[in-house]
């Protein structure tokens, strides 16, 4: 018997009876697939070259055992509002494997009738041929890693597809009946000019996706690009590219709602909004992270699974977590800000208490200081980053880093993927 359910302890209190105002947020599911055909030189995600055929069937079985283990936590007993299958390259998996996976999720959990189910895909004929099977399995949104529609830029990025393959994949997705598409596009690429960045974005907009993730190439630690940096545009030129891109996207009807996310009307990514509003999510798969709120105990717990695929596959289902920790008050303040201040609309004042269980007074002086410096605007109901705050998001967020926890700065992952 789970000790939380021991009758000797008395009934579990209702959330409304708890001090602090902590409330149970929506619950999502992130599923990580760790294999790619080839590792890109800028990528710092937990991904590994596939080599020989990955053990798809064994991995799906392990994912479902992982989910069953996570569902033993009483705080996980809620309907799933979204599912995101990220990687790696999930579109390496055959349609039958994705079908078994999603059927297994539905057999073990309650999946909301309007659940958003996203699968990441890389352009390529082999991947595109699977899109119909993915749709039949329940996938209703695809996030396609285009990254550029310029052949020279794709070569410099170490991508294995060309512009024609990207366009073919988008056409195949629509032919399969999936019109809710996110397309990823990067700017400030090696040797890229302002005119080239503008032309690249214009070509992507012509494809009329529902959602665009438009973000700057950054040199992440422990990647080939970090060890041997390519010639990138300087900071001023990258800022000009970002500003021109925002204006072009707005003109085309794509509203910016997060630092790098732009959507047509009603097409915001629900899964990523849940991350940014400090919602809960189960994380299954090699290297996946999870976050669960238990309003009855007042805890917010983060988990991480073993990263290496062989270790993840070889561990017992009850031993898949590489780390588990409860967030301190300081962690809650910082991680809430890390997520919520990415949103252009900011957050409602009541959301802070509902998602952290902390009183507004905990961050009132921090908000006031950022307001005084022009980084935030405050209304009766909301806290909103100003144009200056959006331009200096990292500096704004760091104001909420309060060094009163030995765990501060660890496990502050907003989510695994955004797209």
Mean pLDDT of 56-78: 97
pLDDT digits (tens, 9 = 90+) for 231-246: 999 999 999 999 999 9
Query: In this prediction, what percent of the chain has a pLDDT beyond 70?
Result: 91
**What is the rounded distance in angstroms from the CA atom of residue 345 to the CA atom of residue 277?**
11
The answer to whether the beta carbons of residues 330 and 403 sit under 8 Å apart is yes
**CA 112, CA 265: separation in Å to the nearest integer?**
22
Q: Count the helix, strand and coil residues of the chain and give each as a percent rounded to the nearest 5.
A: 40, 20, 40
**If you average pLDDT over residues 259-275, what whole number do you get?**
97
Kind of pairing, strands 255-258 and 280-284? unpaired
pLDDT band (50, 70, 90) for residue 412? very low
pLDDT tens column, 132-188: 999 999 999 999 999 999 999 999 999 999 999 999 999 999 999 999 999 999 999
- Contact 267/249 with Cβ under 8 angstroms? no
Element (H, E) at 299: strand 299-305
φ/ψ of residue 322, rounded to 5: -90, -20
CA pair distance 289, 32, nearest whole angstrom: 9
Q: What is the pLDDT of residue 414?
A: 41
- pLDDT at residue 13 greater than cutoff 90: no
Q: Lowest mean pLDDT: which of 49-58, 79-88, 271-280?
A: 49-58
Rounded to whole angstroms, what are the CA distances from 388 to 253, 268, 364?
23, 23, 20
CB-count burial class (<10 Å; 0-12, 13-18, 19+) for 414: middle
Cβ atoms of 279 and 234 closer than 8 Å: no
Other residues' Cβ atoms within 10 Å of the Cβ of residue 25: 22
User: In angstroms, rounded to a whole number, what is the distance separating the alpha carbons of residues 283 and 172?
Assistant: 29
Q: What is the CB neighbour count within 10 angstroms for residue 91?
A: 28
Alpha-carbon Rg for the chain, nearest whole angstrom, is 21
| Domains in the chain: boundaries | 23-274, 329-402
Q: Which fold has domain 329-402?
A: Arc Repressor Mutant, subunit A (1.10.10)
Average pLDDT over all residues of the chain: 91
Class of domain 23-274: alpha beta
Highest-confidence segment of 44-48, 94-98, 127-131: 94-98
Q: Identify whether the C-beta of residue 385 lies closer than 8 Å to the C-beta of residue 375.
A: yes
Q: Is the pLDDT assigned to residue 413 strictly greater than 50?
A: no
pLDDT tens profile 269-288:
999 999 999 999 999 999 99
DSSP 8-state secondary structure symbol assigned to residue 419? -
314-362 pLDDT per residue, tens: 999 999 999 999 999 999 999 999 999 999 999 999 999 999 999 999 9
Tell me what pLDDT residue 136 has.
97
């Amino acid at each position: 018997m789970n000790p939380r359910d021991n009758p000797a302890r008395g009934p579990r209190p209702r959330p409304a009876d708890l001090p602090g105002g902590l409330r149970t947020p929506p619950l999502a599911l992130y599923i990580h697939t760790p294999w790619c055909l080839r590792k890109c030189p800028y990528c710092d995600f937990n991904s590994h070259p596939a080599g020989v055929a990955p053990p798809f069937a064994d991995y799906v079985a392990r994912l479902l055992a992982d989910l069953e283990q996570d569902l033993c936590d009483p705080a996980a007993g809620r309907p799933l509002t979204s599912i995101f299958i990220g990687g790696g390259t999930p579109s390496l998996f055959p349609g039958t494997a994705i079908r078994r996976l999603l059927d297994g999720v539905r057999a073990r959990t309650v999946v909301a009738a309007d659940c958003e189910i996203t699968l990441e895909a890389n352009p390529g004929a082999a991947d595109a041929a699977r899109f119909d099977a993915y749709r039949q399995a329940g996938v209703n949104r695809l996030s396609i890693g285009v990254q550029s529609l310029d052949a020279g830029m794709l070569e410099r990025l170490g991508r294995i597809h060309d512009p024609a393959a990207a366009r073919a994949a988008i056409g195949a997705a629509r032919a399969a009946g999936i019109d809710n598409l996110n397309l990823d596009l990067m700017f400030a690429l090696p040797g890229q000019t302002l005119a080239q960045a503008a032309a690249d974005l214009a070509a992507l907009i012509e494809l009329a996706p529902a959602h665009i993730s438009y973000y700057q190439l950054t040199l992440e630690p422990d990647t080939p690009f970090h060890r041997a940096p390519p010639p990138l545009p300087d900071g001023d030129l990258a800022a000009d590219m970002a500003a021109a891109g925002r204006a072009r996207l707005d003109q085309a009807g794509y509203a910016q709602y997060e630092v790098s996310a732009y959507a047509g009307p009603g097409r915001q990514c629900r899964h990523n909004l849940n991350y940014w509003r400090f919602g809960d999510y189960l994380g299954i798969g090699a290297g996946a992270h999870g976050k669960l709120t238990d309003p009855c105990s007042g805890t917010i717990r983060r988990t991480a699974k073993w990263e290496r695929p062989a270790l993840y596959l070889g561990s017992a289902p009850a031993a898949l977590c590489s780390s588990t920790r409860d967030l301190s008050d300081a962690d809650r303040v910082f991680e809430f800000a890390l997520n919520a201040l990415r949103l252009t609309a900011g957050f409602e004042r009541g959301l802070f208490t509902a998602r952290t269980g902390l009183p507004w007074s905990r961050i009132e002086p921090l908000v006031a200081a950022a307001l005084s410096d022009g980084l935030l605007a405050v209304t009766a109901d909301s806290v909103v980053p100003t144009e200056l705050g959006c331009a200096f998001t990292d500096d704004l967020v760091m104001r909420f880093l309060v060094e009163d926890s030995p765990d501060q700065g660890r496990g502050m992952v907003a989510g695994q993927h955004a797209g």
